[in-house]
Amino acid sequence: MIKKLFSLLIIVAAMVSLTSCLSDTDVEVTYYDDTAITAFSLGTINCYNHTTKTDGTGDSIYVTKIAGSSYKFYIDQVNALIYNPDSLPVNCDAKHVICSFSTKNGGVVMLKLKDMWGRDSIGYYQSTDSIDLSTPIKVRVYSNRGNAYKEYVLKLNVHKQTGDEFAWGQATAEGADQLGARRFAQLGNSMWLFCQASDKTIGYQLVNGSWQKASELEGDDAYKSVATLGNSLYTYSNGYLYQSADGVNWSKMDTPNQIKQIIGGSGSRLYALTTSGLAYTTDGQTWVNDALDSNADALPESDINLVAMPSKVNANTNNLTLIGNRNGKTVVWTKVEENGEHADNNAWALLPEDSYNQKTLPCLEGLQVVVYDGGLLATGSSTSLFYKSLDHGLTWSSVDLYATPIIQANPTAAALFCDSNNILYFSKAQLSTVLSGRLARLGWKTEQTSFNK
């Protein structure tokens, strides 16, 4: 009997011990003093698009939805900024946005907003809440211990324009209505307009949005040869080369006898039309004759333009297009310019006439050509039309987007230029008006996407 009682006591003791273990609810919890927002994304966003009703009686609005998650947000932890470098399309509803936050160490996200009296207030954020991000807001993330927080500025970038909007603005070059043909040039961050006078060339500089007369050059033909190489402007007039480091003061240089006209630069070289063909210089002093794959008699003889597009596949390489008029026809030459170590000096190639090509550039009097928006853009003095080529001058299509507001009873020589900020400039002889404009998306700011200590 005693043995049985002893065994029962042991069993009861074991059960009590087991029950005690099972009821032990102590769990170790770790609290952190540090936290941060580590990721941010958007949900689905409504875009309200305006269109004309099918009967033409008015406007109508239709809604499209875009996946906000496809727009990546960058977090600058040093400056406490959260933003999307790729802006959302115009007309997106930024007032009602669903967001998602990820935090370090279980941090708690709270929004710093204004109450009905305009005072700062703090409120918890829930993933189902809609936030007004039409203006930047402040976001706080609190550590799970609750004794520290970090505050960020959250900015949602939304385009204010559609990417293909373009409009010309106007400025005045006083006295230029008494001057003839002209040519633009850029030296560093400075824009210049050189105009033909009766026996000289007048230079205007763009200063604070106004064109101001700033220099005079010998010879009324100096304007047509103005081009940039390195930190200097160059021109050719009355048998002499001239160089200027500021666009105001010009000095004569030793001039090779064969040069007839400077036709433009590529950034690495300066090119000239010579008595026997083409030549180039890399330093403004030593000139090298360039090779041609066809007879020099096929080079353009008027309205000569040289434009350069950096290669998308090869470093230190430019795709050059030489285009102008000869005998009532448009003439196009191309060249691959290599400037790296062990570079080849490739010959200029003439684009032959092709009866199957139905999209050639018509012969435009006063032809002007620039590189713009990934292609070549051309116009002439006797038309308001612009033409674009995406294959270095082989085929062309008319575009209405850049039509100028200038109308003249008697067409005069024109000048067209694109600067390093993708701003187009346009001016015509016997006019003081100088137009400028930029395709909206070419002026959009590129946000920083990488951060270093």
Identify the CA nearest to 44 among candidates 17, 18, 64, 26: 64
Q: What phi and psi, each to the nearest 5 degrees, are found at residue 419? A: -90, -175
Return the sign of the alpha-carbon dihedral for residues 410, 411, 412, 416: positive
Other CB atoms within 10 A of residue 447 CB: 15
Reading the block at residue 301, the tokens are 């003889």
Residues 233 and 187: their CA atoms lie apart, in Å, by 7
Is 426 within 8 Å of 414 (Cβ atoms)?
yes
Cα separations in angstroms, 277 against 262, 329, 441: 12, 19, 39
In this prediction, residue 55 carries a pLDDT of 61
Spans of the chain, pLDDT less than 50? 1-16, 18-20, 22-23, 453
Amino acid in position 230: G
Q: What integer pLDDT is reported at residue 118 of this predicted model? A: 67
| 227-229 and 232-237 beta bridge pairing | antiparallel
Q: Which of 114, 112, 132, 131 is nearest to 123 (CA)?
A: 112
Q: What is the pTM of this model?
A: 0.72
Q: Supply the pLDDT for residue 363.
A: 93
Write down the pLDDT at residue 25: 54
Tokens of 336: 């691959």
Q: pLDDT value at position 28?
A: 63
Q: Which pLDDT belongs to residue 14?
A: 46
With residue 22 as reference, give the H or E element that holds it: helix 2-22
d(CA 53, CA 264): 49
Instruction: Please tell me whether residue 91 adopts helix, strand or coil conformation.
Output: coil
Q: Residue 155, class by beta-carbon neighbours within 10 Å (0-12 exposed, 13-18 middle, 19+ buried)?
A: middle
